[in-house]
């Protein structure tokens, strides 16, 4: 990388200043305020500046918190596993089974279009599908496979995970597909000439060269699932909850400092998970090259 | 460039092709069902069978029978989407040009944008809500919600511009300068036209991400809701096919803007392609 002059440094800084202002005002400042308020005290009358660890003590010693985290991890793990399997298979199919570039782009666009439409609508679209009198139950009943409607389909943890997978799989497909399309065909050709079979090519060439994409997709899935506050509420019928939805309840109950302490713990958890992934991948290299 | 590992008739292609079709069915199936159910007759319910086809539940949306402000929130979401789109394009394109030099602090700025992308959006809303409450400032959709949404659209815009600029040939820029173009002329007549398809992509992301945004908007939208916020509220109260009708309407707007943007990008690329051929022939 060539050295750049002070003047060029200045020009670059002028160009990124609007971005920096937005990030400072709407990202950094809110996070710092959350951190501050998490040490404050509160009662029915409002919240008061203080430096108290009582919010944290309460959260860390409560069984509810542990259960919430366990449930959130459970959701995250299953959604990650399923989206990874789908994302890898779909990207593999598009990259290595479809020969025509036009078709590859068209099929890829077919996968991405729903991403640009409303998440709430795509969420509620499952309700007439899964409900007691929904399409699945009606279909199974008319085939004579069940005589009672399946109750676990809607307003259950099953429905929550299904909705997450439906909404978020694309975040796994795009980075993996991107990584696969950068694989040099000559490498695969060379492996084949050296006598590698299909499975060995996947195992020793495609998987290692796709890991960066998998890492990036995993970061998206983890933060999306752990940050969700309304899908878990609506699709479980209020029966289940996650860390973020519990936070949401505290906020509507005006327990801001408690919610803030929860938020800090959530950020720490997400940052820890993401930094484990970042140990294996250089995100800046992946994203800018 | 043939990168196929598996031939057209191999078992793997068939199996994965079948899996891919199932995935597409899974992706579009539920949407298709609510699309059908939104044309349910006046006596029909929220599930099958469809009694008769009608536009009843669409008309119902804009009548007084519904407590929600559908047309108002729809207008606000469109205006907000356009505002976010304009700001996202301007700020992220200029910033991405700045990132082409490895300036001091570029690492910090880059990671700031990445944190903004992966920070659970709800926390941004909550933090902003706290600031507004402490400073006693009122939140509105066109100020605070706008700012909150930018923390989501700007990193996206930036990443798209990185991908576009990585493929951009800087020698073209130098050639323009060697021919005596000022830096403004180089920008206006060389760089921007070449980047225009990518910039249109950024605009599409800016608009649609804002048009559907909930987590960052939720606590800072103020008294007048945006459309997705209004729809989310409706999921708790509305138990008629009108809920599907609004779903169909908002999806039509999203799909229309995607189609429009994709066609625009295609046209620009075709035009760039033909002008390059023309110049190489002359």
Measure in Å the smallest separation between the Cα of B250 and chain A Cα atoms: 7
CB contact, 8 Å: A99 with chain B? Answer: yes
Strand partners, B40: B53
Gap from A137 CA to chain B (nearest CA, Å)? 11
Query: Please, what's the b/e burial string for A132-170 (b: 16 or more CB within 10 A of its CB; e: otherwise)?
Result: eebbbbbeeeeeeeeeebbeebbbbbbbbbbbbbbbbbb
Angular region, B105: left φ>0, alpha ψ -120 to 50, beta rest? left
Distance to chain B for A131, nearest Cα, Å: 8
Whether A192 maps to a domain, the answer reads: yes
CATH 1.10.3720.10 domain range(s) in chain B: 75-221
> What span, in angstroms and rounded, lies between the C-alpha atoms of A53 and A173?
42
Nearest Cβ partner of A15 from B4, B97, B232? B97
The closest CB to that of B91, out of A19, A135, A289, belongs to A19
Q: How far is CA A132 from CA A97, B8, B44, in A?
A: 40, 42, 16
Beta-carbon count within 10 A of A124 CB: 24
CATH (domain of A267): 1.10.3720.10
SS3 A215: helix
Count of beta carbons in the 10 Å neighbourhood of residue A204:
12
Say how far apart CA A123 and CA A116 lie, in whole Å.
14
For residues A132 and A55, which has the higher predicted lDDT (pLDDT)? A55
From B30, B94, B122, residue closest to A244, measured CB to CB: B122
Q: Which domain holds residue A112?
A: 63-288
Q: What's the pLDDT band for B281 if we cut at 50, 70, 90? A: very low
Distance CA B121, CA B83 (A): 19
Q: What mean pLDDT comes out for the span B34-57?
A: 81
Answer yes or no: is pLDDT of B4 > 70.
Answer: no
The whole-number pLDDT of residue B277 equals 54
Q: Are the C-beta atoms of B40 and B57 separated by less than 8 Å?
A: yes
The mean per-residue pLDDT over the stretch A180-192 comes to 86
The answer to whether the Cα torsion of B148, B153, B155, B161 is positive or negative is negative
Cα A32 to Cα A52: distance, rounded to the nearest angstrom: 16
Q: Which residues of B touch A86 (CB under 8 A)?
A: 23
Helical residues (DSSP H) of chain B, grouped into ranges: 11-37, 56-61, 70-98, 106-118, 121-135, 144-166, 170-178, 183-185, 192-211, 227-237, 242-281
Contact of A113 with chain B, judged by CB distance below 8 Å, is answered with yes
- pLDDT tens across A209-265, in order? 898 899 989 999 999 999 998 899 989 887 788 899 999 999 988 889 999 999 999
Peptide bond into B49 cis (omega under 30): yes
Q: What is the ipTM of this complex?
A: 0.88
Contact between chains at A134 and B47 (C-beta distance less than 8 A): yes
Q: How many domains would you assign to chain A?
A: 1
* Count of other CB atoms within 10 angstroms of residue A183: 16
B147–A126 CB contact, under 8 Å:
no
Those residues whose C-beta lies under 8 Å from the C-beta of residue A7, and which sit 6 or more positions away, are none
pLDDT in tens, B18-32: 999 999 999 998 888
What is the structure's pLDDT at A268? 93
Residue A75 has pLDDT above 60, yes or no: yes
Query: In A119-184, which residue ranges form alpha helices assigned H by DSSP?
Result: 119-124, 127-130, 135-142, 157-181
Which of 161-180 (B) contact A at CB < 8 A?
162, 166
Each residue's pLDDT tens digit, B95-125: 998 988 888 888 899 989 988 988 889 999 9
Q: Name A184's Cβ contacts closer than 8 Å, sequence gap at least 6.
A: none
Mean pLDDT of B258-271: 85
Closest-approach residue (CA) in chain B for A110: B24
Residue B174 has pLDDT above 80, yes or no: yes
Could you say which DSSP state residue A47 is in?
A: E
Q: Decide if A263 and B148 are in contact by the 8 Å CB cutoff.
A: no
* Chain A residues 39-78 with a CB less than 8 Å from chain B: none
Q: Which of B3, B122, B148 sits opposite A229 (nearest CB)?
A: B122
Integer Cα distance of A216 and A241 in angstroms: 26
Multiple choice CATH, B75-221, 1.10.10.200, 1.10.3720.10, 3.10.20.30, 3.30.230.10: 1.10.3720.10
Q: At what angle do helices A157-181 and A63-96 cross, to 10 degrees?
A: 40
Interface check for B210 against chain A (CB to CB < 8 A): the answer is no
Residue A13 placed within a domain: no
Tell me whether A114 touches chain B (CB under 8 Å): yes
* Sign (positive or negative) of CA dihedral A24, A27, A28, A34: positive
Residue A156 lies in a domain: yes
CB contact under 8 A, B150 and A251: no
Is A98 touching B (CB cutoff 8 A)? yes
For residue A12, being part of any structural domain is answered with no
Confidence of residue A140 (pLDDT cuts 50, 70, 90): confident
The pLDDT score that the predictor gives to residue B183 is 83
Domain assignment of residue A22, yes or no: no
Q: Rounded CA gap, B126 and A99, in Å?
A: 48
Minimal-distance CA residue of chain A relative to B94: A15
């Amino acid at each position: 990388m060539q050295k750049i002059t002070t003047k060029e440094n200045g020009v670059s800084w002028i160009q990124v200043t609007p971005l920096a202002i937005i990030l400072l005002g709407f990202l950094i400042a809110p996070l710092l305020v959350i951190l501050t308020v998490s040490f404050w005290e509160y009662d029915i009358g409002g919240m008061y500046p203080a430096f108290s660890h009582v919010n944290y003590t309460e959260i860390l010693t409560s069984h509810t918190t542990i259960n919430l985290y366990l449930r959130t991890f459970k959701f995250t793990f299953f959604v990650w596993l399923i989206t990874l399997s789908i994302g890898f298979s779909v990207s593999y199919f598009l990259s290595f089974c479809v020969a025509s570039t036009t078709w590859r782009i068209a099929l890829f666009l077919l996968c991405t279009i729903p991403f640009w439409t409303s998440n709430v609508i795509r969420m509620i679209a499952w309700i007439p599908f899964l409900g007691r009198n929904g399409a699945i139950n009606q279909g199974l009943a008319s085939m004579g496979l069940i005589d009672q409607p399946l109750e676990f389909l809607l307003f259950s943890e099953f429905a929550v995970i299904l909705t997450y997978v439906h909404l978020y799989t694309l975040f796994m497909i795009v980075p993996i597909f991107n990584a696969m399309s950068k694989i040099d065909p000559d490498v695969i050709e060379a492996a084949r000439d050296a006598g590698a079979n299909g499975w060995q090519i996947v195992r020793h060439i495609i998987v290692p060269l796709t890991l960066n994409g998998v890492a990036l997709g995993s970061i998206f899935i983890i933060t999306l699932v752990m940050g969700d506050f309304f899908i878990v509420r609506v699709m479980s019928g209020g029966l289940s909850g996650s860390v973020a939805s519990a936070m949401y309840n505290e906020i509507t109950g005006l327990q801001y400092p408690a919610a803030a302490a929860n938020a800090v713990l959530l950020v720490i958890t997400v940052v820890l998970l993401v930094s484990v992934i970042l140990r294996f991948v250089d995100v800046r290299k992946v994203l800018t090259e | 460039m043939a990168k196929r590992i598996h031939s057209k008739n191999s078992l793997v292609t068939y199996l994965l092709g079948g899996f891919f079709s199932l995935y597409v069915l899974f992706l579009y199936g539920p949407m298709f069902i609510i699309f059908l159910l939104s044309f349910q007759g006046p006596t029909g319910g929220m599930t099958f069978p469809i009694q008769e086809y009608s536009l009843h539940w669409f008309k119902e949306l804009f009548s007084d029978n519904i407590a929600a402000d559908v047309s108002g929130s729809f207008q606000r979401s469109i205006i907000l989407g356009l505002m976010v789109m304009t700001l996202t394009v301007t700020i992220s394109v200029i910033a991405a040009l700045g990132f082409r030099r490895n300036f001091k602090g570029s690492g910090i700025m880059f990671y700031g944008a990445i944190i903004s992308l992966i920070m659970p959006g709800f926390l941004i809303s909550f933090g902003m809500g706290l600031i507004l409450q402490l400073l006693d400032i009122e939140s509105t959709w066109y100020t605070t919600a706008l700012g909150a949404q930018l923390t989501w659209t700007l990193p996206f815009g930036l990443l798209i511009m990185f991908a576009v600029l990585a493929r951009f040939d800087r020698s073209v820029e130098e050639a323009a300068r060697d021919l005596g173009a000022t830096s403004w002329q180089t920008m206006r007549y060389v760089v921007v036209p070449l980047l225009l398809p990518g910039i249109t992509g950024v605009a599409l992301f800016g608009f649609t991400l804002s048009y559907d945004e909930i987590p960052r908007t939720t606590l800072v939208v103020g008294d007048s809701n945006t459309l997705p916020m209004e729809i989310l509220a409706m999921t708790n109260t509305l138990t008629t096919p009108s809920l599907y009708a609004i779903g169909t309407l908002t999806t039509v707007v999203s799909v229309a803007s995607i189609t429009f943007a994709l066609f625009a990008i295609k046209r620009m690329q075709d035009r760039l392609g033909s002008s390059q051929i023309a110049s190489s022939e002359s």
